[in-house]
Amino acid sequence: MEQTISEVFSQYAYSPWLVYGAICLFMLLSAFGLPLPEELVLISAGFVGYMSLNPELYPPPSADAKSVNVYVLAAVSFFAVIGADFLIYYIGRWIGPPLFKRRWFTRLVSEANLEKIRGWMHKWGYWAVILFRFTPGVRFPGHLMCGAMGLSRWKFIAIDSIAAGLSVPTQVLLVSFYGEYILKYFKQFKIYVISIAITGVIIFLIYKWFQQRRTPVPRA
């Protein structure tokens, strides 16, 4: 799968609209639970941007061939992620809780994960959307749960946009401008980014815990 995606993007590096369309398709499939890492699509898209910025290394098929625009590439990736997330949210809002009782759904998502997601939603409200985006295995059911529990669509879009805005355009543009260097050290870079994100989440959770401790308990 990884080799296929890389070949698709590389083959059509000088066909911008095909690249933009492929990004939207892959993001949609990834959001629906296909075992396709979002980071892989973003890195592949960024590498296409790197090719377009370095025609001396990756010659175009003809002199008048148009390459992708790296800023459009980053924007398309961002809106593809947000659009796919919102589609899942809307399905959860439209179908509602009965979806979680379907046999085929329970085979995809364990009851333990659903209970974890419910707990996060009740405890953190719409801020749980950030946790869903950065926690492996819960993005799809988490966004479904946001819709099923009636979370405001505008709050969902706003928080999801903040979370996606921190990671999606950044990865695409970094690979586009620094290309082979970023790809060479991407594993180390990803570890640092994840560590910073986890640290931020821990600080936020500690803050909420102290805030709850300070809240006086009403007497019976």
Burial category of 189 from C-beta neighbours within 10 Å (exposed 0-12, middle 13-18, buried 19 and up): middle
Find the mean pLDDT for residues 127-131: 81
With respect to residue 88, please indicate whether it lies within any of the assigned structural domains. yes
User: Of 201, 176, 198, nearest to 44 (Cα)?
Assistant: 176
Which residue in the block uniquely carries the two structure tokens 């959770």? 205
Query: Using CA atoms, how far apart are residues 77 and 190, in angstroms rounded to an integer?
Result: 18
pLDDT digits (tens, 9 = 90+) for 133-187: 877 667 777 888 888 877 888 888 998 999 899 889 998 998 888 877 765 665 5
Q: How many domains does the chain have?
A: 1
The range of the structural domain enclosing residue 76 comes to 2-214
pLDDT digits (tens, 9 = 90+) for 34-75: 667 788 888 888 888 888 888 887 778 777 788 899 999 999
6-20, 47-61, 100-114, 135-149 — which is least confidently predicted?
100-114
Question: How confident is the model at residue 69, as a pLDDT?
Answer: 92
With respect to residue 46, please indicate whether it lies within any of the assigned structural domains. yes
Show Cβ contacts of residue 77 under 8 Å, excluding neighbours closer than 6 positions.
Answer: 23, 27, 41, 42, 45, 168, 169, 172
With respect to residue 220, please indicate whether it lies within any of the assigned structural domains. no
With respect to residue 77, please indicate whether it lies within any of the assigned structural domains. yes
Find the mean pLDDT for residues 84-96: 85
With respect to residue 167, please indicate whether it lies within any of the assigned structural domains. yes
3-state SS, residue 34: coil
Q: Percentage of the chain with pLDDT > 70?
A: 71
Question: How confident is the model at residue 51, as a pLDDT?
Answer: 84
With respect to residue 219, please indicate whether it lies within any of the assigned structural domains. no
